Amino acid sequence: MLKSQVLDKGFIEVVDSLGDDLTVVNSARVSFGKRKTKFDKSDERLVRYLAKYKHYSPFRHLQVQFHVKAPEFVMRQWYKHVVGIETTSNSSTKDHAWNEISGRYVPVVDFYNPSVWRKQSDDNKQASEGVLDDLQQKRMDDTYNEFMRQVRMTYERMIEAGMAKEQARIVLPLNQYTEVYWTASFQAIMNFIELRDEKTSQIEIQEYAKAMKELMFDVFPKTTEIWSKLYWEK
């Protein structure tokens, strides 16, 4: 099982995959009516050429299905990624899929608890920079813990009273953990990693991108290594 723990209660796990390192080169070489059964140096050169000059369609034949457990505010950012993904509602052959656990059926039990409270960046409206001082850390811990105590108590009382879960969940904050199955092409996954394993991204989603990157080296080692050297190791 390929699985990495992320944050305090989250994880990302490879459930299934389609293709291997040869898939990219065989998809490209079909133009010449050729097919190989063993990956060699010439294939490395071809994969490097395809990636360098942005011939991305052969990479879309590689797919991975992930099981992800992450805070809702992380998934709100994740949903935005569409490069290498067919998203039109009238298409019968999408190359990605989302399925998510439903708070209508399953009670929410896990919430993200940050290990440290960060300061707002002075020159970037959407970023953090550094951490609060020790006194403010303590105050925010106390404030957060009291807030979460009230949230849990209110939600549990609603459930115990027989209120529908679909309605009781309206009191839950964005730090609630959700779980999704995400299937996407190699290109879509690489785009996600490139944009989210980046210092201006929110730290929490950076952690998922870093974990995903390491898993991809296990799933498609040669292809990921070549892509990494071209785009990540600059």
- Report the catalytic residues: 196
Q: Who's near 220: CB < 8 A, 6+ residues apart? A: 17, 19, 20, 21, 62, 186
